[in-house]
Chain A
Amino acid sequence: DAKTTQPPSMDCAEGRAANLPCNHSTISGNEYVYWYRQIHSQGPQYIIHGLKNNETNEMASLIITEDRKSSTLILPHATLRDTAVYYCIALSNDYKLSFGAGTTVTVRA
């Protein structure tokens, strides 16, 4: 699976959009981009995934560049409860999904 690179941390103001970048320059054509988050010491929570097209669900939007070498997770209206570690993962159709260090997002009032 392709390596992903994320900033170690970022801050966001409550009520504003949070844009979380992820680089995956070696991603192959059959690899999906997945986003998970982990709040405190809980188990990670699935957010969204996509292959080529932009995706949106009730939690977030995923914007993937046309060359698929990077993507951005958008939390449209961040709340204090969105404070978490966010993981970006590139995964092909196999079963060995592992999580890197992720981005620690702190939402401030």
Chain B
Amino acid sequence: NAGVTQTPKFQVLKTGQSMTLQCAQDMNHEYMSWYRQDPGMGLRLIHYSVGAGITDQGEVPNGYNVSRSTTEDFPLRLLSAAPSQTSVYFCASSWGQGIGELFFGEGSRLTVL
């Protein structure tokens, strides 16, 4: 049982490049979400999904796209990377009734030059 798996763990991009952060969970969770954490700050919600085919915006959605074609996967796309998107990104999942216990991945550290 792997839990929540994020790839890659580290990535360096140049301004304007695009990339996708992958997130997969094997717990059959309906709810999945993406957060970013800047140095010395708490986590801010980017996008979330309450089930396959359903996504919604969180607190800081600009510059990011998501889709949820399967229950297991919830990729986060950066369309045109900017230095302001340098951050650590966390994916999380839960059963979905309210929130309950959120299970987090290990994080993906992104640097945009």
Show the binding face of A for B, using Cβ within 8 Å: 32, 34, 36, 41-46, 49, 87, 91-102
B88 at the interface (CB under 8 A from A): yes
Alpha-carbon separation in the docked complex, A63 to B59 (Å): 29
Residue of B whose beta carbon sits closest to that of A45: B104
> When A and B form their complex, what is the total count of cross-chain residue pairs whose Cβ atoms lie within 8 Å?
64
Task: List, sorted by A's number, 24 A–B pairs whose CB atoms are closer than 8 Å.
Answer: A42-B104, A43-B92, A43-B105, A43-B106, A43-B107, A44-B43, A44-B90, A44-B92, A45-B104, A46-B101, A46-B103, A49-B101, A87-B42, A91-B99, A92-B98, A93-B97, A94-B98, A95-B31, A95-B33, A97-B33, A97-B102, A98-B45, A101-B41, A102-B42
A36 and B45 contact, Cβ closer than 8 Å, known pairs A41-B107, A43-B107, A98-B58: no
Q: Do residues A44 and B31 form an inter-chain contact, with CB atoms below 8 A?
A: no
Chain B residues numbered 64-113 whose CB sits less than 8 Å from any CB in chain A: 88, 90, 92, 97-107
Show the binding face of B for A, using Cβ within 8 Å: 4, 31, 33, 35, 40-45, 48, 50, 56, 58-59, 88, 90, 92, 97-107
Q: Do residues A96 and B104 form an inter-chain contact, with CB atoms below 8 A?
A: no
Q: Do residues B98 and A101 form an inter-chain contact, with CB atoms below 8 A?
A: no
Q: What residues on A are CB-neighbors of B88 within 8 Å?
A: 41
Q: Do residues B42 and A99 form an inter-chain contact, with CB atoms below 8 A?
A: yes
Alpha-carbon separation in the docked complex, A34 to B43 (Å): 15
